[in-house]
Amino acid sequence: MKNKIHKKMKLKTSIKYGIIIGILAIAAYIGFRLVRELTSDKVIQEEHTLYQYTLQPKADYLVHIKENIVYDGTIQGEGLEYSRNLLDYIEVNFSTEYQSSDIAELQLEYQINAYVNGYKYINDGKAINWSKLFPLTDKRRVAVSDSYLYEEAKVEFGLDDYEAFATEAKMVTGMNISTEVVVCMEGTLSIVTPNGNLSTPVASSISLPILESIFTINKSGVDPVNDMIVDQVDVTVPINYKLVTLFAVLFFICIIAIIILLLITEAPGTYDILIAKSRKLIKNYGSRMIAIHNKPEQKFRQTYELNSINDLIKISDEIQKPIFYQYDEISIIEDFMLHVIDGDNLYLYHIY
């Protein structure tokens, strides 16, 4: 009678419980993360801007020249090369524009000054050897309570006095060095707010070489300045429900996986073990075996039961006879028996 077909998946007990322990470990970790996500109060520090501002300094200039036969008009704009012989005077319009996020007490103190410098270049840097200050305006002070401040100051200057001083300074010092004039709006903007105080320098300028037949004018300190007052605030991070949902789903999947594993698997019985051994024998020694569908109708004078497959193989090799087994769709090898026939002698090996 055929053995009953087993519906459940066969799995060794050690492997099954190893898998279950692994899934439980994963589920425990997921559960820990889930509980921690739900119960822990995460606090992070965030910067809150209490006050911020932008300061935009400018130094716009025009070069006024004498009437001549070369150029049309007597005003030249920025970014050109200029003739010293044709120069009449230079007009500079300094301005400072301040915009902030809130009203504050603003105080701007500044003065327009000219500096005549003697300098030389050392290692790609300008080293000033001497400098002379020429104030162009008195000190000025502007105070307002506002979120916006705009201050403008215009000056005009020629180069004759500065070049005369530079020529004399070079004679006195004996230094044959380059000279320049720097005209700048320099001062300080003080900002008083309920959340703290700020102070920023104001230093926009133009510079040009003197005692030269051709010159250009460079600007500096005209980039916008941004600053702020910030406060560090502790913020409780809200529960990440997407992460909580993910952990909950993964935990549920782990539990379902364990239940399914317990329902669809069972430990292999003796019959299952014999089938596994039969498959292994055919895999290892199938080339030496012959499968038959019917047992030979023969009576044997002597039947020998052997202790191992190796003994059966030795007999097969000695008498030059193949190993037979009756094929079975379920058990693979009918009755789990292999045999070698030598005349009226039968050699048997029971798989166990």
Q: Is the CB of residue 37 less than 8 Å from the CB of residue 239? A: yes
- Is 4 a domain residue? no
Residues 245, 240: Cα–Cα separation, whole Å: 9
Distances (CA, A) of 156 to 35, 76, 95: 75, 14, 15
- Is 103 a domain residue? yes
Amino acid at 270: T
Phi, psi of 307, rounded to the nearest 5 degrees: -85, -25
Same domain, 113 and 62: yes
Same domain, 286 and 317: yes
- Is 1 a domain residue? no
Residue-range definition of the domain harbouring residue 246: 9-41+239-266
Q: Cβ of 114: how many Cβ atoms within 10 Å?
A: 19
Same domain, 208 and 333: no
What does the DSSP 8-state code read for residue 301? Answer: S
What is the tally of structural domains in the chain? Answer: 3
Same domain, 24 and 172: no
Same domain, 169 and 312: no
Go through 181-217 and write b for each residue having 16 or more CB atoms within 10 A of its CB, e for each that does not.
bbbbbbbebebebeeeebeeebebbbbbbbeeeebeb
Q: Maximum Cα–Cα distance for the chain, whole Å?
A: 143
Using alpha carbons, select from 284, 298, 297, 289 the residue that is nearest to residue 338.
289
Using alpha carbons, select from 97, 117, 107, 93 the residue that is nearest to residue 210.
117
Name 63's bridge partners.
Answer: 76, 90
Same domain, 274 and 220: no
Written in H, E and C, the secondary structure of 189-228 is EEEEECCEEEEEEEEEEEEEECCCCEECCEEECCCCEEEE
Per-residue confidence (pLDDT) for residue 108, from 0 to 100: 97
Name 341's bridge partners.
Answer: 346
Per-residue confidence (pLDDT) for residue 240, from 0 to 100: 85
Residues 180, 186: Cα–Cα separation, whole Å: 18
Q: What is the mean pLDDT of each run of 10 residues along the chain (352 residues)?
A: 56 84 93 86 83 97 97 96 98 97 96 97 91 97 97 97 97 95 98 94 97 97 94 83 91 92 77 77 79 76 84 86 79 76 85 78
Same domain, 196 and 310: no
* β strands within the chain, DSSP E: 9-10, 43-65, 75-76, 82-83, 87-122, 125-135, 140-157, 178-193, 196-209, 214-215, 218-220, 225-236, 265-266, 289-292, 302-306, 323-328, 332-333, 337-342, 345-350
Q: Cβ of 257: how many Cβ atoms within 10 Å?
A: 15
Same domain, 255 and 282: no
- Is 208 a domain residue? yes
Same domain, 193 and 305: no
Q: Is the CB of residue 154 less than 8 Å from the CB of residue 91? A: yes
